[in-house]
Amino acid sequence: MKLMIMGPPGAGKGTQAKHLVEEFGIAHLSTGDILRSEVANGTELGETAKSYMDKGALVPDDVMNAMIGEHVLKHRSDGFLLDGYPRTLDQASCIDGFFSDKEIRLDGVLNIKVDDGLLVDRIVNRISCGNKGCGAVYNSKSRPPAKEGVCDECGAALKSRSDDDAEKLKTRLENYREKTEPVVGHYRSKGLLHEVSGEGAIDAVWEALRAEVQKF
Ligand code: AMP
């Protein structure tokens, strides 16, 4: 299974991506996670990316396009879920060309739709598990952990993302509307798009997504 997942910041992509990769036994290729790990390891790519990420801005297309191929190729036989890429039409045309060169067939693109007002609430109250192998996501108001600051699932410390404050969120939402929504249209016109509402409870969104994937 080779999938993409799209949706604005706060749509619940990370949570649903975890379900999808577990259910279908595929690799989770999250460009946000890859970049955060490059930053944590102090690599040259991490240094470049950090200055953009800290502002909530998009990392330039040439940097992203140069990075993605090797990750995709690593998982071409076991399958993958691309999460957070492509985010611009330039990235979409790059990955479409790459798939066609390497004869990789994309099964479908999932899009989670959520109204802007709800996104702001979700993001500014978002806390997630600092343990990379876990990555559980909580909301300090609507879905807090049993013990403050501690992950229910693995006991690691919880943290907020440095790009989750209201000001940076505004930039990220503007980028999404301006640059990423056209990518949704691009895959719709290719007949690959499957959309679900992300406004319900996590389990309901998951059921809707699973039902879509089973149609592929
Ligand atoms: P995410 O975890 O997907 O929200 O990504 C966190 C940050 O990483 C974004 O706000 C961007 O700065 C950067 N990033 C991740 N994926 C991409 C991409 N495909 N294109 C440009 N920047 C990206």
Residue 37 pLDDT exceeds 90: yes
Predicted pLDDT of residue 152:
97
Rounded to 5°, the CA angle 126-129-131 comes to 155
Strands (E), the chain: 2-6, 27-30, 80-83, 108-113, 126-129, 137-139, 158-159, 193-197
Task: Give dist(CA 50, CA 74) in Å, integer.
Answer: 25
pLDDT tens sequence across 82-94: 999 999 999 999 9
Per-residue pLDDT averaged across 112-126, rounded? 86
pLDDT for the residue 48 = 96
Sheet of 108-113, strand order:
27-30, 80-83, 2-6, 108-113, 193-197
Nearest atom in ligand 1 to 56's CA: 10
Is the minimum distance from the CB of 85 to ligand 1 under 6 angstroms? yes
| Residue to mutate (ligand 1; options 33, 59, 119; most atoms within 8 A of CB) | 59
pLDDT score for 28: 95
109 lines ligand 1 (CB under 6 A): no
**Ligand 1 touching residue 172 (CB < 6 A):** yes
pLDDT (0 to 100) of residue 142: 86
pLDDT above 70 covers a percentage of the chain that reads 99
Q: Catalytic residue numbers?
A: 13, 87, 126, 161, 172
pTM, full prediction:
0.85
